[in-house]
Amino acid sequence: MKNICSILTLSSLVILALVSAIAVSCHRKPATELTYSPERIEIGQAVVEGWNCGFCHTPEIKGPDGKPMPDPKRLMSGYPSDEEVPTIPDMVITSPEWMEFLDNLDSTVWATDNLLIFSANLTPADETGIGTWTVTEFVETIRQGRHRGIERRIKYPMPWQELSELSDEELLSVYEYLMTLEPVNNKVPPSIVLFR
């Protein structure tokens, strides 16, 4: 009798453990599920602001005090295609001021060793932004450093290596936040080779 009792107690404990494990795993939503909950959008915005994505991805306008400020109408829309592509004089390339010169460029365009490179449009515009991207494509772009996760390499100075350390939840939240922004139809030009 005592044996049967302990077998019963043991098996009910095992069943209890199984049931609670199943309950926990049901409760924990898979990280690919989009919710667009206010919490997610808030996390997404916090990550974007914390990492200063807008410094590179939002074009600037002259603020009321004459100083440049992010253009609230073109948040995260990348290098403005209607802006004249800056020319880089040979003199600058060979001078010690080369790095200083970089600082003077609009921060949606960057000059690296031999490329002029333009920051991407991350608004949900269908043709020119990430409007047609799936969340997996977005997460994999950051994780693999490739356009839509599998295509061409994402170039410096986009800090994808650092950003790939973000959790699934954080990257999903960034995607959801970006998807709630105003779509801006702006086709960012491909990078330009400066000298060969």
Residue ranges that bind ligand HEC, judged by CB under 6 A:
47-48, 51-53, 55-57, 110, 117, 119-120, 122, 141, 147, 154-155, 157-159, 163, 174
Cβ within 8 Å of residue 20, ≥6 positions away: none
**Please, what is the minimum distance in Å from the beta carbon of residue 140 to ligand HEC?**
10
Q: Is the CA virtual torsion 161, 166, 168, 172 positive or negative?
A: negative
Residue 65 or 165 having the CB closest to ligand HEC: 165
**Do residues 86 and 116 touch, judged by C-beta distance below 8 A?**
yes
- Structure token pair of residue 11: 């098996």
Q: Report the C-alpha dihedral over residues 30, 34, 38, 44, rounded to 10 degrees.
A: 90
Residue 92 or 137 having the CB closest to ligand HEC: 137
Closest C-alpha among 91, 85, 130, 138 to residue 110: 85
**Please, what is the minimum distance in Å from the beta carbon of residue 34 to ligand HEC?**
16
**Please, what is the minimum distance in Å from the beta carbon of residue 18 to ligand HEC?**
40
Residue 92 or 192 having the CB closest to ligand HEC: 192
Closest C-alpha among 63, 60, 92 to residue 76: 60
Residue 21 or 36 having the CB closest to ligand HEC: 36
Residue 20 or 167 having the CB closest to ligand HEC: 167
**Please, what is the minimum distance in Å from the beta carbon of residue 60 to ligand HEC?**
14
**Please, what is the minimum distance in Å from the beta carbon of residue 158 to ligand HEC?**
3
Closest C-alpha among 86, 84, 80 to residue 103: 86
- Structure token pair of residue 73: 């109408």
- Structure token pair of residue 143: 């994780």
